[in-house]
Structure formats: structure tokens, C-alpha cells
């Protein structure tokens, strides 16, 4: 049975696992503080907090857009809406800060901001920057954000006190950030977990494919964070049997393997990746690069594997990992596995080299070595929380003024995410100079085939790919070039 805490109440919805958390909360629980703005994770009006018990016994709260959260993913968790943080009377410090700074006008987006900021206060770093990042998935059409920035900054000083307090959650409760029942949640979620050791998916209407092959039912949809499927086919998913990735600890890991590679579980979220110390060590600019990928709540939900199998020609993570020559492990219904380079996953627009019963279970890649550099570039109409017009990644090994090895990828310039095979091959062994790069661009222009669409004309995408190709080198070898020499 699907069960979770909704604010301070244990609930057992009988709806399908693929319905949205948002609809359940608004239309079945009549908790109308959470608003519907876009139903595609692009506005944040429906933001809720999702609390999950951690191995250390604490509950970690993350903001998520409930319009894209499959109800089944709430299983065993603590779902918090604006009604669940408001005190019987008066305002929480987050609410007070927004009121005092004039951070609400029409008020429709406001509960989303309140929830994102409350999540920040529960677990975020006490810096203005972290506070602002917490609300980067919330769109406000009225205020122009400055008042919300002021409200956010006002909280930073209070959060420094939080960090000095002996017990964080007790301090937050004492200060009125969250009601007292939050202190019961770790124990209550632990109890819930003990009751529900069996598989989540089996309890929520879907069938889990067991590695031993005893279960052969294949669900219509394998749902991860829901951030693509519920945007594209919400009505279909609602009607279908779904299989949930959530709850599979064995699919959510980031680890170094003995051969020096890094291995990711398919359910690893973008934010898991971004927060990983191992990844940060190997990719010093990782946090900036992945900040260009959607928004905080979406990164909390979206999985790396989901980005790959969605097969978008401009999938940011796909472009990132194509340049790293990632290798995929696919597993079929019988539990048989095979390896496939990511570069060979795509056959055409939204066409995958994959059997219907095969799932992507693991991703493995060799991180850049000490003598290599890695760069990721993305240009979109809006810098953040947008889909790229063109994106590109590069892994380069340069020594003694010569390019030893180059691996370039480009998104938005063809029907699939492209590994720029010919350009990469062309660059290998060439001297690093403007002539080489100009010539490489000539090669690249031959192997791309962008179309004009809402994200730009063909001419623009071609020009932009050239610029991003140059940018990889100018970012890492600024002393060797000036932009003006290249264009």
C-alpha cells in the first residue's frame, strides 16, 4: 500500500502511482495552498518539500515540483506543503521575511517560494548565494525578484545562528521555521520504513522487474523523477501501469571503481551528481556547469539515465557524458546485461539502440586525468532554467602545444545528441593554433545538421556551435589565443 506523511498526517492514497502528487494534494486533500502554474516543472508554483530518511537517521528535505512528482515517489517519505509549515497563528520567519520585503504581489507563486526557502532553511548553507539558488526554480511574474532577493538575504543572518545552535532541527522548531511535529518525523519515517521493507513499486501498482527474471511483467513506463515523462505524456502515464525507480538504493550511487573509472547508478539525480565530492574533485567546474542544467527542484528529481533515454538532441547530461565516452550497462527482463557506449545509443530522432524490455542500470566513464581538461558550454535564451539552443562538451589532452586527444560533443545541431567524431579525430595530433581551430570548425560544420525551430535558426545554431567549439579552447588555453584571431 502506498503510504506517506502529508504534513502531519499519515495518508494512504488509492490513486494510481503515476498520478501526480500535485493533483492528489489539491483535489483529493483540498490543500489548495499549492498552486498549478504550468504542469511542466518550469514555474515552481507547485513546489513542495520531500523529506527522506537518511542513513544517519535525520530527514533530508529537498524541494520538488509536485506537478511532475509521481504519487508513487512519495512512498515512505514526508511530503510538506505550505499548510504543513504554517503555524496556527502568525508567520514563520520565511513568511515574515517575504511580507516585510514586499516579496509577494498577486500571491499565486508565493507558496512555491515559501516552500523553496523553507527547504533552504532546513538544510541549506547560510549564504545569500545558496538562498538564491534555492529559489532559482520559482518564477514570479509580478515582483521582478528584487524583493524576494532581499527576503532571502534577510534569512542568511538567521541561518548563521542555526549553524551555531547545538541541534539544528530543534533550533528551527524553536524559532518557528517549522512546526514541532517535524521533530517526530525521523522516528515516524523509520517506523514507516520498517513496515514497508518490501518493494515500493509492487505496492504502488507497478511491477518491478527482478534481476533473477522471476518477474516478467514489463510496465508500460519506467518512471524516474518524472521530469520528462510527466511533461510529455502526463495523461498516458496516469492511465498506465508504471514501474518506479524510486526506492532502489542499488540504482542510486556514485563510486570510483578499482580501474579508476567512475560508476553511476541509473537513478542518480543531477543534484546527487552535482553534490558529489568525488565528481567535484574530478570536475573542478562541475557546480557551475550543472547550475546551467534546469533548476534546483528539477535537479533534485531528474535522473542521469532519464536524460539519456529521453534522447533529446539537447540533453545537457547526454552532451556532458558523450565527451567522456561513457559506457552504459543495459539489463533486459531476464536479467541479462550488455554494455553499450553512450555514443551508440542513438539511432535517430528519439530512436534508441535498446530492446523494449531493456533498462539502463549503470553508467561508467573514465574521468579526466590530471593532464586533461574538460569543459561544458551551453547557450540558451535564458541562461538558467532553460533548454539549450546549442550545448557542447569537450575533453582535451594538450601537451607541448599539440592536441594529443580531443573528444567533442554537440547538442541542438542534429536529430540526436552528437559525438563530433570527425571533428574530434581531426583535432588529434594537430598543433594548437588558430588555423587548427578554424579548420576544425569547417569539419564540424560538415557533420552537423541543425534545423530552425523555436530555439533558433539554422544559421544561428551553426554559428553558435563554432563559438562554443572555440570557447572550449579559450576557456582552458586563454594565453594561446585571442577571440579576434579566430573569427
Partner 1 sequence: MHNLDAAGHVRGESQYLDDIPVQRGTLHAAVYGSPLAHGKLLSLNLEAARRAPGVVRILTAQDIPGENQIGGIVPDEELLAGSHVHFQGMPVALVLAETEPQARAAVKLITADIEPLPIITDPREAQAKGELIVPPRTFRLGDPAAAWAECAHIIEGTAENGGQEHLYIETQGAYAYPTDGGGVRVHSSTQGPTAVQRHTARVLGTGMHKVEIDVTRLGGGFGGKEDQATTWGALAALGAFVTKKPVKLVLGRHDDLRMTGKRHPYTSDFKLGLSADLKLLAYEVTFYQNAGAAADLSPAVLERTLFHACNTYFIPNVRATAYSCRTHLPPNTAFRGFGGPQGMFVIESAIAKAADELGVLAWEIQRRNLLQDGQVFPYGQRVEDCNAELSWQAADQKFELKKWQAEVDAFNQQSPVRKRGLAVMPICFGISFTKTAMNQARALVHIYTDGSVGVSTGAVEMGQGVNTKMIQVAARTLGISPKRVRLETTNTTRVANTSPSAASATADLNGKAVEMACRELRTRLLRHAAEDLKMNYEGLEIQDEQVLAAGKPAETNWEKLVSTAYWKRVNLSENAHYATPDLWFDQTQEKGHPFAYHVYGTALVQATVDAMRGTYDVDAVRLVHDFGQSFTPGIDRGQIEGGLVQGLGWMTMEELIYNQDGRLLSNALSTYKVPDLYSVPKVLDVEFLETPGHPNAILRAKAVGEPPLMYGLGAYFAIRNAVRAFRPDVRPEFSAPFTPEKVLLNLYAARESAAAPAASQASGAEASVRN
- Which residue, 275 or 415, has its beta carbon nearer to partner 1? 415
Q: Which is nearer to partner 1, 218 or 471 (CB)?
A: 471
Q: Which is nearer to partner 1, 139 or 361 (CB)?
A: 139
Nearer to partner 1, 97 or 185 (CB): 97
CB nearer to partner 1: give 426 or 473.
Answer: 473
We find the least distance from the C-beta atom of residue 429 to partner 1, in angstroms, to be 26
- In the bound complex, what is the minimum distance in angstroms from residue 400's beta carbon to partner 1? 26
> CB 260 → partner 1: shortest distance, Å?
33
Shortest distance in whole angstroms from residue 327 CB to partner 1: 25
Of residues 217 and 351, the one with the C-beta less far from partner 1: 351
- Write down the least CB distance from residue 129 to partner 1, Å: 11
292: left (phi over 0), alpha (psi -120 to 50) or beta: alpha
Q: How far is the CB of 22 from partner 1 (least distance, A)?
A: 12
CB of 8 to partner 1, least distance (A): 16
Q: Is 56 exposed, middle or buried (0-12, 13-18, 19+ CB in 10 A)?
A: exposed
CB of 387 to partner 1, least distance (A): 6
Q: Which is nearer to partner 1, 71 or 200 (CB)?
A: 71
List residues bridging with 393 in a β-sheet. 376, 409
Task: Yes or no: say if 124 and 130 are a contact pair by the CB < 8 Å rule.
Answer: yes
d(CA 443, CA 427): 10
Q: Decide: 341 and 329 in contact? Cβ < 8 Å.
A: no
For residue 11, the cross-strand partners are 4
- Cα angle: 161, vertex 159, 148; to 5 degrees: 145
Query: 357 or 386, CB closer to partner 1?
Result: 386
Give the nearer residue to partner 1 in terms of CB position, either 386 or 405: 386
Determine phi and psi for 76, rounding to 5 degrees. Answer: 75, 5
Least separation in angstroms between CB 200 and partner 1: 25
Amino acid at each position: 500500500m502506498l503510504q506517506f506523511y502529508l504534513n502531519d498526517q499519515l495518508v494512504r492514497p488509492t490513486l494510481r502511482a503515476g498520478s501526480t502528487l500535485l493533483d492528489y494534494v489539491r483535489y483529493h486533500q483540498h490543500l489548495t495552498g499549492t498552486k498549478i502554474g504550468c504542469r511542466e516543472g518550469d514555474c515552481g508554483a507547485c513546489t513542495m518539500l520531500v523529506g527522506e530518511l537518511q542513513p544517519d537517521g535525520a530527514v533530508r528535505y529537498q524541494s520538488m515540483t509536485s506537478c511532475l512528482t509521481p504519487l508513487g515517489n512519495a512512498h515512505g517519505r514526508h511530503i510538506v506543503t505550505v499548510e504543513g509549515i504554517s503555524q496556527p497563528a502568525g508567520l514563520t520567519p520565511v513568511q515574515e521575511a517575504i511580507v516585510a520585503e514586499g516579496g509577494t504581489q498577486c500571491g499565486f507563486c508565493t507558496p512555491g517560494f515559501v516552500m523553496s526557502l523553507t527547504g533552504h532553511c532546513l538544510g541549506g548553507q547560510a549564504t545569500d548565494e545558496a538562498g538564491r539558488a534555492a529559489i532559482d526554480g520559482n518564477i514570479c511574474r509580478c515582483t521582478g525578484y528584487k524583493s524576494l532577493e532581499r527576503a532571502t538575504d534577510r534569512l542568511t543572518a538567521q541561518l548563521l545562528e542555526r549553524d551555531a545552535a547545538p541541534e539544528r532541527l530543534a533550533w528551527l522548531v524553536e524559532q518557528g521555521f517549522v512546526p514541532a511535529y517535524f521533530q517526530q518525523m525521523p522516528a515516524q519515517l523509520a517506523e514507516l520504513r520498517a513496515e514497508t521493507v518490501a518493494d515500493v513499486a509492487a505496492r504502488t501498482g507497478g511491477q518491478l522487474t527482478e534481476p533473477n527474471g522471476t518477474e516478467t511483467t514489463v510496465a508500460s513506463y519506467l518512471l524516474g523523477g518524472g521530469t520528462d515523462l510527466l511533461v510529455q505524456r502526463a495523461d498516458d502515464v496516469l492511465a498506465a501501469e508504471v514501474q518506479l525507480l524510486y526506492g532502489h538504493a542499488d540504482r542510486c550511487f556514485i563510486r570510483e571503481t578499482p580501474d579508476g573509472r567512475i560508476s553511476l547508478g541509473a537513478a542518480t539525480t543531477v543534484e546527487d551528481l552535482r553534490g558529489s565530492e568525488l565528481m567535484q574533485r574530478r570536475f573542478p567546474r562541475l557546480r557551475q556547469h550543472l547550475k546551467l542544467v534546469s533548476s534546483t527542484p528539477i535537479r533534485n528529481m531528474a535522473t542521469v539515465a532519464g536524460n539519456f533515454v529521453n534522447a533529446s538532441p539537447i540533453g545537457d547530461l547526454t552532451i556532458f557524458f558523450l565527451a567522456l565516452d561513457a559506457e552504459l550497462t543495459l539489463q533486459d527482463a531476464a536479467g541479462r546485461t550488455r554494455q553499450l557506449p553512450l555514443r551508440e545509443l542513438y539511432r535517430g530522432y528519439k530512436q534508441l539502440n535498446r530492446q523494449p524490455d531493456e533498462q539502463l542500470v549503470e553508467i561508467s566513464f573514465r574521468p579526466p586525468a590530471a593532464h586533461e581538461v574538460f569543459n561544458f558550454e551551453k547557450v540558451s535564451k535564458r541562461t538558467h532554467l532553460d533548454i539549450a539552443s546549442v550545448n557542447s562538451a569537450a575533453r582535451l589532452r594538450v601537451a607541448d602545444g599539440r592536441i594529443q586527444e580531443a573528444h567533442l560533443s554537440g547538442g541542438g545541431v542534429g536529430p540526436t545528441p552528437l559525438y563530433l567524431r570527425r571533428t574530434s579525430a581531426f583535432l588529434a595530433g594537430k598543433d594548437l593554433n588558430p588555423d587548427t581551430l578554424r579548420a576544425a570548425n569547417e569539419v564540424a560544420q560538415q557533420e552537423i545538421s541543425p534545423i530552425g525551430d523555436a530555439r533558433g535558426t539554422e544559421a544561428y545554431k551553426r554559428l553558435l556551435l563554432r563559438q562554443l567549439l572555440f570557447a572550449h579552447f579559450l576557456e582552458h588555453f586563454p594565453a594561446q589565443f585571442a577571440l579576434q584571431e579566430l573569427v
